[in-house]
Chains A and B, each alone.
Chain A
Amino acid sequence: MDYILNGLFQAIQLMIHGDAETYSAVAATLKVSTGSMIASILIGIPAGFLLGHHDFPGKKPVRTLVDTLMSLPTVLIGLLVYALLTHHGPLGHLGLLFTLEGVAIGQTLLALPVVIALTATSIESMDEKLRITLISLGADRKQVVLSTLWEARYGILAASMNAYGRVMTEVGIAMMVGGNIKWHTRTITTAIALETSKGQFVSGIALGLILMAIAAMVNISLSFLRNRS
């Protein structure tokens, strides 16, 4: 039990004393998760809206595919992105393997199905009366889309939070595509994996607590935003 308490104590010390290696991992985590979340929101919300709002031939299979992709294992995405970005791969010339950008691409693939599927669900659950109301008050097509997204904002926020949770905590993609390179692509989760394999439970727990603190801060700020709106 002692090492858990020690871990807590050490986490506080690491944060207070500004341990450079820890901060490098925190910065790497924030960079890749922010990058992948921005990309998955920019692509996922419009795609989720289209999937939830429109009827088109083949909608059901597409929906089933997206739902299935939600539970895609991170190591499989890691493998796929590695294969694409490796020197001999089709995107090898971009030189993105073992970079944070490469990790962000993999994490975008991880978050995208979650954002698309949950956005589609929240759009589908919007009342038909909303459309009638918006048109009745004079909205044009674009305004109907924007107002519907705004009405579904809590559902979309929940979708994004869910995706963010997956991205922040995944280790497979960061390890395989990033390579866990110290000062470069080492994220909090890959650092924890390394520390644990070295038997350094205390530093592992400390890093884990930091990760949870970041997740808590993001959640608290979002719920503050939600309450204000």
Chain B
Amino acid sequence: MTSEGDTFKTLWPKRHQLSHQDADIYQLFNIKKYHGRQLAVNIESLTISQASITGLIGPNGSGKSSLLRLLAFVDSPSEGNILFKGRKAAPYDDSVRFQVSLLPQEPYLLKRSVFDNIAYGLVLRGVNRSRHAEAVVDALSLVGLSAEEFAGRSWYQLSGGEAQRVALAARLVLQPSVLLLDEPTASVDAASAQQIKASALRASIKWGTTLIVASHDWQWVHEICNRVIPMFNGKVMENGRGNILLGPWRLEAEGYWEKVLADGQVIRVSEPFSCAAAAVIPHDSIFLSLDKPRLNPHEHSLHGILTLLAFDPSTGSIQATIRIADLSFTLRIPTNHAQKMLLFPGQKVYITYPVSAVLWY
């Protein structure tokens, strides 16, 4: 895990000249993608910033993989255009072919050795063969595999986690501008998952690679991502609109729809259209208090720990993040309220919301 940087630098000298952090690398307008008759992706507008880390979250079948395949220019949208670095791009275009790489959830390794799998992209890019060995060794070490042990192995001599790491190494060796990861840790062992997460993050830090990650690992996504985009039924949620709560929801004896959290508290919601539907509690429907609130009949309350207070320049308010069991809630408080309440991270707080404010996707 020591020498990976040097070879990459010599192989790809230009990649380090990153353009502005804020430039949009992707711009999507009115994108629709049908699988047969089913509308898998339906996005009015979405932009992704260069060198950012974006998380896509949402239940299975919400369109995350389909969106990643569009962003990877593996599939074309049925309607609409995707702009890459400001220019319209399509699969096989020279402007994207060597820039974007997707790691599918279940990796496919070519029927050749690990070495040849990792060197495949280098061959396509016309990198001199004499430089392959060093680059492959570096890429393998970046994903925590020893070249002596693995480079000579055949594709069938790997465990699931090792295969996923080799597949990631085959992408990292290319230093792509954009790396798209589809559930990269869903079907691998814990050690491999840890290594994959670390390697992806290193790529972002070292080379300014734009990362887009679809994952069910909420904690990881919230930890590393600059931005988390929830997806439901092929749509992306408007940015920062509310707190997303995934089902399953159960109808309790009293006639309430609820979900029990890891700490035993329950989230109460209005009646969902399906048990697996995703609920959204808008930021501005949540009230924060330090004392246990007196509830009206149609309100519900939860307690948690205030973990973060941040000034949001776009609204001029304070954004508070509250951890409740394994969930993170954010809400906005006017600056003067926050001052009056003497809020500080680590406090036990209560949030209250009207059950009728819950929106469904």
Contacts from A to B (Cβ < 8 Å): 127, 129-133, 135-141, 143, 147, 150-151, 153-154
**Contact status of A137 and B72, CB under 8 A, knowing A127-B108, A129-B106, A132-B102:** no
| Chain B residues with CB below 8 A from A154, complex form | 111
- Does the CB pair B108–A135 fall under 8 Å? no
- Does the CB pair A137–B171 fall under 8 Å? yes
- Does the CB pair B97–A131 fall under 8 Å? no
- Does the CB pair A138–B91 fall under 8 Å? no
- Give B112-124 as 1s and 0s: 1 = Cβ < 8 Å from A's Cβ atoms: 0000000011001
| Closest Cβ neighbor of A129 among chain B residues | B108
B332 contacts chain A at the CB level, 8 A cutoff: no
Docked complex Cα distance between A44 and B74 (Å): 28
Docked complex Cα distance between A132 and B124 (Å): 15
| Chain A residues with CB below 8 A from B72, complex form | 132, 135-136
B side interface size, CB within 8 A: 26
- Does the CB pair B74–A140 fall under 8 Å? no
Smallest CB separation, B235 vs chain A (Å): 23
| Closest Cβ neighbor of A135 among chain B residues | B74
- Does the CB pair B69–A132 fall under 8 Å? yes
Partner of B125, one of A136, A138, A141, A150: A138
- Does the CB pair B73–A135 fall under 8 Å? yes
Docked complex Cα distance between A138 and B108 (Å): 15
Docked complex Cα distance between A127 and B97 (Å): 21
Smallest CB separation, B75 vs chain A (Å): 9
| Chain A residues with CB below 8 A from B91, complex form | 135
B103 contacts chain A at the CB level, 8 A cutoff: yes
| Chain B residues with CB below 8 A from A143, complex form | 124
| Closest Cβ neighbor of B97 among chain A residues | A138
| Chain B residues with CB below 8 A from A138, complex form | 97-98, 101, 121, 124-125, 174
Docked complex Cα distance between A141 and B74 (Å): 12
- Does the CB pair A137–B103 fall under 8 Å? no
Docked complex Cα distance between A139 and B123 (Å): 10
Docked complex Cα distance between A98 and B101 (Å): 58
List residues 76-113 of chain B with CB under 8 A from any CB of chain A. Answer: 91-92, 97-98, 100-104, 106-108, 110-111
Partner of B124, one of A127, A129, A137, A141: A137
Docked complex Cα distance between A130 and B73 (Å): 15
Smallest CB separation, B105 vs chain A (Å): 9
Docked complex Cα distance between A150 and B174 (Å): 22
Docked complex Cα distance between A176 and B124 (Å): 50
Docked complex Cα distance between A131 and B107 (Å): 12
- Does the CB pair A136–B101 fall under 8 Å? yes
Docked complex Cα distance between A131 and B110 (Å): 11
Smallest CB separation, A143 vs chain B (Å): 6
Smallest CB separation, B74 vs chain A (Å): 5
- Does the CB pair B110–A147 fall under 8 Å? yes
Docked complex Cα distance between A137 and B73 (Å): 11
| Chain A residues with CB below 8 A from B102, complex form | 132, 136
Docked complex Cα distance between A130 and B171 (Å): 14
- Does the CB pair A132–B92 fall under 8 Å? no
**Contact status of A132 and B74, CB under 8 A, knowing A137-B170, A137-B171:** yes
**Contact status of A136 and B110, CB under 8 A, knowing A129-B104, A131-B74, A143-B124:** no
| Chain B residues with CB below 8 A from A135, complex form | 72-74, 91-92, 97
- Does the CB pair B108–A130 fall under 8 Å? yes
| Chain B residues with CB below 8 A from A132, complex form | 69, 72, 74, 102, 104, 108
Docked complex Cα distance between A154 and B111 (Å): 10
List residues 53-74 of chain B with CB under 8 A from any CB of chain A. Answer: 69, 72-74
Smallest CB separation, A33 vs chain B (Å): 29
| Chain B residues with CB below 8 A from A150, complex form | 111
| Chain A residues with CB below 8 A from B100, complex form | 136
- Does the CB pair A137–B69 fall under 8 Å? no
| Chain B residues with CB below 8 A from A151, complex form | 110-111
| Chain A residues with CB below 8 A from B106, complex form | 129
Interface hub of A127, A136, A139, A140 (most chain B Cβ within 10 A): A136
- Does the CB pair A133–B73 fall under 8 Å? no
